[in-house]
Amino acid sequence: MTEMSSTISRIGIYPGTFDPVTQGHMDIIRRATRIVDQLIVGVAINAGKGPMFGVEERCRLVEEALKAAGGEVAARTSVKPFSSLLMDFAKENGSSTIIRGLRAVSDFEYEFQMAGMNARLSPEVETVFLMASDKQQFVSSRFVKEIARLGGNVKEFVPANVLTRLHEKLAEEKE
């Protein structure tokens, strides 16, 4: 049995729309950096979802949240937009791992089907599921936007930079 070289880097991709990035996303990012050497947060362009923020702004918000997180998380994580098939994006970036977060049983069926399809497309790329921490299980970008639009306090659900921009964006929408 040969010993693997320490120069081999395990690259993972954590894909999503991140509209906006939440503390739940940040939790998965922090935990994913423990299992891969480099993590790429892949921000899906996905105009079909009708995002509140454009892809460039979503990337910037994630980058700012990562910078604020600091340490190993910031040092070993990068952010890239993508509009291609996830498996093509993984190949382009030399990734052998896709990271997905699961909040509830309702997420599992969709994610299970997606992982199966991705495995058929690229059997060399593994999908790893991380369960949401108990504090983040109910947090979703959709709920954050809905609560904020209705005047609710979302401070504990999003990074500080996102909270500021979310309030600005909602004020712009009212004008």
Model confidence at 7, in pLDDT bands (50, 70, 90)?
low
For position 56, which CATH number holds?
3.40.50.620
Average pLDDT over residues 103-128: 90
Quick check: is 3 in a domain? no
Residues at the binding site are: 17-18, 25, 49, 86, 100-103, 111, 136-142
Quick check: is 44 in a domain? yes
Residues at the binding site for ATP are: 17-18, 25, 101-103, 111, 136-142
Q: How many domains does the chain have?
A: 1
Query: Cβ distance 5 to 139 under 8 Å?
Result: no
pLDDT value of residue 132:
86
Quick check: is 153 in a domain? yes
Per-position b or e across 48-70, b if 16+ CB within 10 A of its CB: eeebbbebebbbbbbbbbbeebe
Tell me the pTM.
0.91
Quick check: is 25 in a domain? yes
Helix (H) or strand (E) holding 16: strand 11-16
Inform me whether the pLDDT recorded for 47 exceeds 80: no
pLDDT value of residue 86:
95
Residue 63's SS3 state is helix
Question: Amino acid letter at 127?
Answer: T
pLDDT value of residue 149:
93
Inform me whether the pLDDT recorded for 81 exceeds 90: yes
Model confidence at 50, in pLDDT bands (50, 70, 90)?
confident
Pairing mode, if any, of strands 38-44 and 126-131?
unpaired
Inform me whether the pLDDT recorded for 6 exceeds 70: no
Residues at the binding site for substrate are: 17, 49, 86, 100
Catalytic residues: 25, 49, 103, 141
CA dist., res. 103 & res. 171, Å (int): 30
Q: Give Cα 172 to chain centroid, integer Å.
A: 26
Over residues 24-39, the pLDDT tens digits come to 999 999 999 999 999 9
Average pLDDT over residues 28-52: 91
Quick check: is 6 in a domain? no
Over residues 86-110, the pLDDT tens digits come to 999 999 999 999 999 998 777 888 8
Quick check: is 1 in a domain? no
Quick check: is 132 in a domain? yes
- Domain span at residue 126 reads 11-174
CA dist., res. 59 & res. 62, Å (int): 5
Token pair, residue 59, equals: 């990337």
pLDDT value of residue 109:
86
Quick check: is 147 in a domain? yes
Least confident of 5-9, 10-14, 27-31, 120-124: 5-9
Inform me whether the pLDDT recorded for 2 exceeds 50: no
Cis before 20? omega within 30:
yes
Query: Cβ distance 131 to 100 under 8 Å?
Result: no
Question: Amino acid letter at 161?
Answer: N
Among 62, 92, 61, residue whose Cα is nearest residue 77: 62
